[in-house]
Amino acid sequence: MTDLRAAALQALRAQTIEIPSWAFGNSGTRFKVFGAPGVARDPFEKIADAAQVHACTGAAPRVSLHIPWDRVEDYGKLAAHAADLGVAIGAINSNLFQDDEYRLGSLTHADTAIRDKAIAHHAECVEVMRATGSTDLKLWLPDGTNYAGQDDLRARQDRLADSLQQIYALLDPGHRLLIEYKIYEPYFYAMDIPDWGTSLVHCLALGDQAQVVLDTGHHAPSTNIEFIVMQLLRVGRLGAFDFNSRYYGDDDLIVGSADPFQLFRIMNEIVEADALRPDSGINFMLDQCHNIEPKIPGQIRSVTNVQEATAKALLVDREALHAAQQAGDVLGAHGALNDAFATDVRPLLAELRESAGLAPDPYRAYAASGYADRIAAERTGGTPASWGA
C-alpha cells in the first residue's frame, strides 16, 4: 500500500486536465441564461480566470479555445497572455451550430457552398492552432435532423466523409483531428455522428491523425461508458475526453457530481491500460456549464473531482485484483476495486498539493484569494461572454 501511495502521488503529479474557455462565460438552458457578477468579457479575461483554476489546483495548465467565441485579432498575443499567467492554449474547438446557414446542416448540408463554408471555418481553426501552438482540432458535429425523412441519412454520411477528408487534409503533421459524437441535441431525430461507432468509422477512413473524443454526457441512458473507453484504447483511437456529469440528457453538470463511481470506473480503465501517462496522447478535458453555481469554483471542483477519481484508480491493488479475476472470484475482484473507491483520498491530494507549494484545498484557497470580489468589482462595463459571443 505504501508503494501504491507513492506511485499514485507520482502519477498524479504528472496528470493534467484541460479546461474550456467557455466555462467562464455565461451559459444556461433554452429557458434562461442566468448572469453572474464578474463574468469574463473577452478571451483574455477567460484565460485569466482559467489561470486561477490552475493556480489553485496545479493541475489545469491548458485552456481550450472555441472559435468564433474566442476570436481575437492577435492569437500570438493571446498565447503570450496565457503563458504569462502560467497556462497554455489547448485544443481549438470549431463551431458549426451558430450560423443561420447551418439550420439544416454544416458539413453534411446538401448545398456544397454551405459545406465549403463549414470546411473553411476549420482552415481558420488550423491557423489558430499554428498561431497558438495548439495541436488538437476538436470537431463536435452538431448536424442532424428532427423528423424522419427530413433528409437522406446515408447521403449525409457521404457528404460528411467528404467534408472530413478536406478538413483532415488541412492538418500539419503533428496535428490531430478529434471527432466527438453525441446521441442527440441540438437535433432530435438523428444526429449525424450519434455514437462512438460512427466516430470510429470516420476516423478509420481518415487516417492515424483522426481520433475519437468521448464526452461523458453524450450517450443513451444506461450505456456503459468505461467499456467504450476500453474499446477505443484497444483499437488505438481514444484521443480525448470531454468530462461532465449527467442524470438525464446532456446535463453538463460538474464532472463526478452525479455518479462518482462511474468516473472512478472510467479512470480505472485508463490506469489499467497505462494511459494516464502524459505521452499516451489522451487529452483529459472538461466540457461543462456552470448555469447556477459560480464558474471558477465550479471548475476547481471539477478538477479536484477528476483528481479524486484518478487517485482512487491509482490506489487499486492491481495484483490482488488480477489474482481474483484470474481465479473467477467475483466478489473478491469486485471488492478489490471497491476498496480503492472506499478510500478517502482527500489527504493524499492535500499532500500532493502541499508538496507542490499549493494550499491543500483549492476550493477554499480560491475563496480566500479575493479574486471573485476583485473581478466582480472590476468587470463592470461591457458584455459578459457567453455561448453566443
Helix axes 362-369, 43-57, angle to 10 degrees: 130
Question: Shortest distance, CB of residue 381 to a second copy, whole angstroms?
Answer: 19
Question: Shortest distance, CB of residue 130 to a second copy, whole angstroms?
Answer: 28
Q: How distant, in Å, are the alpha carbons of 11, 205, 389 from that of 92?
A: 27, 22, 16
Backbone angles phi, psi at 180, to 5 degrees: -95, 150
- Residue with smaller CB distance to a second copy, 127 or 226: 226
- Residue with smaller CB distance to a second copy, 22 or 75: 22
Question: Shortest distance, CB of residue 114 to a second copy, whole angstroms?
Answer: 10
- Residue with smaller CB distance to a second copy, 102 or 168: 102
- Residue with smaller CB distance to a second copy, 28 or 133: 28
Written as one string, the DSSP assignment of 210-279 is EEEEEETTSS-TT--HHHHHHHHHHTT-EEEEEE-B-SSSS--BPTTSS-HHHHHHHHHHHHHTT--SGG
Question: Shortest distance, CB of residue 212 to a second copy, whole angstroms?
Answer: 10
Question: Shortest distance, CB of residue 164 to a second copy, whole angstroms?
Answer: 14
The label of the residue with cell 478536406 reads 166
Q: What is the largest CA-CA distance in the chain?
A: 66
Question: Shortest distance, CB of residue 293 to a second copy, whole angstroms?
Answer: 4
What span, in angstroms and rounded, lies between the C-alpha atoms of 244 and 306? 10
User: Taking the CB of residue 89, how many other CB atoms lie within 10 A of it?
Assistant: 26
Coil, helix or strand for 372? Answer: helix
Q: Can you say whether residue 204 is alpha, beta or left, with left for phi > 0 and alpha for psi between -120 and 50 degrees?
A: alpha
- Residue with smaller CB distance to a second copy, 249 or 382: 249
Q: How far apart are the two ends of the chain, measured CA to CA in Å?
A: 50
- Residue with smaller CB distance to a second copy, 127 or 251: 251
Question: Shortest distance, CB of residue 162 to a second copy, whole angstroms?
Answer: 13
- Residue with smaller CB distance to a second copy, 85 or 213: 213
